[in-house]
Amino acid sequence: MAYRIGMIGLGTMGRNLLLNMADHGFAVAGYDKDQTKIDLLESEGKGLNVKGFASLQDFIKSLELPRVLILLVPAGKIVDSVIEELIPVLQKGDIIIDGGNSHFKDTTTRVNYLQPKGLHFFGMGISGGEEGARRGPSMMPGGDFEAYKYVQPVLEAIAAKVDGEPCVTYIGPGASGHFVKMVHNGIEYALMQLIADTYEILKKGFGYDNNSLHQLFSDWNDGKLQSYLLSITADIFNFKEPGSDHWLVDFIRDEAQAKGTGKWTSQVAMDIELPVPTIDIAVGMRDLSKYKLLRTNIAALYKGTGPAPGDGDKEEFVMKLEDAFYFSMIIIYSQGMQLLARGSAVYEFKLQPDQIAKIWRGGCIIRAKFLELIHGAYQKDSALPHLIFDSEIKSIINESLLSARTVAAQCVMAGISVPAYTSTLSYFDALRSERMPSNLIQAQRDYFGAHTYQLIGKEGIFHTEWNAVKE
């Protein structure tokens, strides 16, 4: 029996993805050093055309030519050591797909390393968690187009579907697939922070209990804000530990962890000088959350709050909050789309923003009703300089802007930290400033460091002895 696809790494993601392929009629094989994972694969895949191997040689021999190997192992050094193990047993034309959350720059290095050996290597972002892998993820494959064509039928079969269309497409050359997945995760971080801010407002500003939080997030999820992240948030506020009477969420430490993809998004965005302030602050807030003792001590020093948001008029305020959330959500996605465009130009990825928005509509963590509008906007104009130029999106912004301002201002006065709401608003206000105060920054730089400045209506660079002027 020759297997169409081989999976290396039979952890939950690898196993589920393999079972998903088998569900769709593909004969597939998996390899792992851990026998218990092989046993799990075979028991969960009973009746399906799936086989587990503990011997790399036997596994490799069992695969159809050219071999297609998907790696689902932790990002970093392990990917390189697996590649080294594979090189001697593979032959020219074989395809290695890294399905993990690898840094796209590592993927570029690996593509360049394997190309002269005749091996196709491509990075494929996979989103959707365990459930997505099993039932239909969103996938972002980038690299050699011929290699993609070879696996396209399998990927399209197992992907999530929206209106019958698979949530997978060829992203572009090189490491573009992992770049796009990184930006996806950056957006994910910012949206999660926006939801966390909202929780903070409702809990601290209005004393919402978990029942009311569950109800509100469920209601929002039935409307324009419909999204996977809101739906799971509603579920979280409805979860009591089996056999107990307490809400699990209340017993979880307020210290957020991170595997690093959000940080990479901010780092890369800074390297290529494209601002994504809401992603930056989302990364920063996770970091701040880890300083528990410091926060506890400072909390004891600076007590007290301002007036309740909305002067305590809950209903009115919560209606505005829904619009403010929509506004911030639009700005978050637009920061991500800007980063895609800038990254595409810098790294020559040839990204198609409408196609990326299309495959994010289903299967992935940031899927949301709003992605339909993003998709539509870039379909109308693939060179849109910024998402907020789109006429439909412009109307939504104009309708929600006052609410966004009210919510941010009143939370600031109440002393409630809402960095996602305030950063989206400040970003937007700076964007709509024809003249920013950056002339002053230039003057300051020149004053203390003779860094020069440029003048309006005059070519060239200038320097002034500012001290002399003062005297």
Residue 284 near ligand 6PG by CB under 6 A = no
- DSSP code of 84? H
Question: What is the largest distance, in Å, between two alpha-carbon atoms of the chain?
Answer: 89
Q: Whole-number minimum distance, CB 364 to ligand 6PG, in Å?
A: 6
Give the nearer residue to ligand 6PG in terms of CB position, either 202 or 364. 364
Q: Torsions phi, psi of 418, nearest 5? A: -135, 65
Q: Whole-number minimum distance, CB 158 to ligand 6PG, in Å?
A: 15
C-alpha to C-alpha distance for 279 and 269, rounded to whole angstroms: 10
C-alpha to C-alpha distance for 57 and 75, rounded to whole angstroms: 23
Q: Whole-number minimum distance, CB 224 to ligand 6PG, in Å?
A: 23
Q: Which of 95, 329, 364, 377 binds ligand 6PG (CB under 6 A)?
A: 364
Contact 325, 217 (CB under 8 A): no
45 closest CA partner among 8, 2, 14: 14
Q: Which of 188, 197, 390, 446 binds ligand 6PG (CB under 6 A)?
A: 188
Dihedral-angle region of residue 460 (phi above 0 means left; psi in -120 to 50 means alpha; beta otherwise): left
Q: Which residues contact 102 (CB under 8 A, 6 or more apart)?
A: 75, 76, 79, 123, 178
Residue 365 near ligand 6PG by CB under 6 A = yes
Q: Whole-number minimum distance, CB 192 to ligand 6PG, in Å?
A: 8
Q: Which of 20, 101, 221, 265 binds ligand 6PG (CB under 6 A)?
A: 101
C-alpha to C-alpha distance for 157 and 462, rounded to whole angstroms: 61
C-alpha to C-alpha distance for 17 and 137, rounded to whole angstroms: 9
Give the nearer residue to ligand 6PG in terms of CB position, either 365 or 420. 365
Structure tokens at 190: 């910012």
Give the nearer residue to ligand 6PG in terms of CB position, either 90 or 269. 269
Q: Which residues contact 413 (CB under 8 A, 6 or more apart)?
A: 306, 307, 309
Q: Whole-number minimum distance, CB 184 to ligand 6PG, in Å?
A: 6
Residue 45 near ligand 6PG by CB under 6 A = no
What binding mask, one character per residue, do residues 315-354 give for ligand 6PG by CB under 6 A, x or -? ----------------------------------------
C-alpha to C-alpha distance for 335 and 424, rounded to whole angstroms: 9
Q: Which of 62, 107, 169, 185 binds ligand 6PG (CB under 6 A)?
A: 185
What binding mask, one character per residue, do residues 120-139 give for ligand 6PG by CB under 6 A, x or -? -------xxx----------
399 closest CA partner among 342, 322, 337, 310: 322
Give the nearer residue to ligand 6PG in terms of CB position, either 76 or 415. 76
Residue 424 near ligand 6PG by CB under 6 A = no
Give the nearer residue to ligand 6PG in terms of CB position, either 96 or 366. 366
Structure tokens at 176: 């573009």
CA angle 71, 72, 77 (to 5 degrees): 80
> Which are the catalytic amino acids?
181, 188
Specify the DSSP element, H or E, that contains 138.
Answer: strand 138-142
Name the residue whose CB lies closest to ligand 6PG.
127
Size of the site for ligand 6PG (CB under 6 A): 13
Query: CA dist 243 to 251, 321, 352, Å?
Result: 15, 35, 50
In this structure, how many other beta carbons lie within 10 angstroms of the beta carbon of residue 451?
12
Give the nearer residue to ligand 6PG in terms of CB position, either 208 or 228. 228
Binders of ligand 6PG in range 371-390 (CB under 6 A): none
Binders of ligand 6PG in range 223-282 (CB under 6 A): 258-262
Give the nearer residue to ligand 6PG in terms of CB position, either 133 or 216. 133
Q: Whole-number minimum distance, CB 139 to ligand 6PG, in Å?
A: 10
Q: Which residues bind ligand 6PG (CB under 6 A)?
A: 101, 127-129, 185, 188, 258-262, 364-365
